[in-house]
Amino acid sequence: MRKRCVLITGASSGIGRATALRFAEAQENIVLVGRNHEALAAVASEVEAKGAGSLIVAVDLCRDGAASKAVTTALAQFSHLEVLVNAAGIIANGTIENTTLADWDRMMDINVRAIFQLMQAATPALIAAHGNIINVSSVTGTRSFPNVLAYCVSKAALDQLTRCAALDLAPKGVRVNAVNPGVVVTNLHRRSGFDEPKYAAFLEHSKTTHPLGRVGTPEEIAELIYFLASDQAGWITGETISIDGGRQLTCAR
């Protein structure tokens, strides 16, 4: 039985990295996609230490042609592609009053447009392999929250992209799903401008907003992604699955 080829964006840290390591435990071939070659190389070493194959594709997925390059590079190395995991994303604060058009466009470019392009580029190979796609969305795709307007809209768009693509590709044997995490300990909020004291306070506060009383780990999200990519999830498509400690059950606070 041949090893699957799994292409993962945002693979240098957080959920992307944890997902790469989870698939590596099964000795899959992992295509690590991101902008920072050095950070990807560090993950590649971890992947290979688990006995899995790895390939680094250092690209900015917002640039035209980058999605096609990632897919063609993967196919040139491994000749097939079974799983696409879109884990790259950004967050920024802003309301309807103060979100700039530049911030809005950047959020849509990274969180929606780049994913659409990569899904489209990967579709022929996924059809040939009867593969599947897992998009990393957010609880903000299903619920509205204050001061993250563009982020909420981008994740809601990603959820709808997931559902529409699932309908388009179901007759061709390709499944498309999304996971919708609550607050997970990654660099996402740090990169949005949180310093360490502010981030620590945010995590502490998040214990009170998630009914299970804690935030999530990247490894927990990776486990759900791995399941959705497996044959055990073979009758699941078009789903946006909450994995958020109950966060989506509550009101904004």
pLDDT at 94 over 80: yes
Among 23, 78, 151, 194, the one annotated catalytic? 151
* Residue 75 pLDDT level (bands cut at 50, 70, 90): very high
Q: What is the pLDDT of residue 209?
A: 87
Cα separation of 18 and 240, whole Å?
Answer: 20
pLDDT at 211 over 80: yes
- How many Cα atoms within 13 Å fall on the side-chain side of residue 196? 0
* Residue 168 pLDDT level (bands cut at 50, 70, 90): very high
Q: What is the pLDDT of residue 208?
A: 87
Question: Whole-model pTM?
Answer: 0.94
Tell me which residue of 134, 128, 115, 135 sits closest to 173, measured CA to CA. 128
Q: What is the pLDDT of residue 190?
A: 55
Ordered by where they begin, the domains of the chain are: 5-186+217-239 (3.40.50.720)
Tell me which residue of 234, 222, 235 sits closest to 85, measured CA to CA. 222
Taking the CB of residue 112, how many other CB atoms lie within 10 A of it?
A: 20
What percent of the chain shows pLDDT beyond 70? 95
Q: Distance between terminal CA atoms of the chain?
A: 50
Reported as a single tens digit per residue, the pLDDT across 41-73 is 999 999 999 999 999 999 999 999 999 999 999
Q: What is the pLDDT of residue 194?
A: 65
* Mean pLDDT within 135-149: 95
What percent of the chain shows pLDDT beyond 90? 88
- Average pLDDT over the chain reads 94
DSSP 176-206: EEEEEE-SBSSSHHHHTT--HHHHHHHHHHH
Q: What is the pLDDT of residue 180?
A: 98
pLDDT at 32 over 80: yes
Tell me which residue of 188, 146, 178, 186 sits closest to 243, measured CA to CA. 178
Residue 151 annotated to the active site: yes
Q: What is the pLDDT of residue 204?
A: 86
Tell me which residue of 53, 175, 179, 63 sits closest to 119, measured CA to CA. 175
pLDDT at 192 over 60: no
Taking the CB of residue 210, how many other CB atoms lie within 10 A of it?
A: 20
pLDDT at 199 over 90: no
Helices (H), the chain: 14-25, 37-49, 66-78, 101-108, 114-129, 149-169, 188-191, 196-209, 218-228
Say which range, 169-173, 210-214, 217-221, 231-235, has the weakest mean pLDDT. 210-214
* Interhelix angle 149-169/114-129, nearest 10 degrees: 20
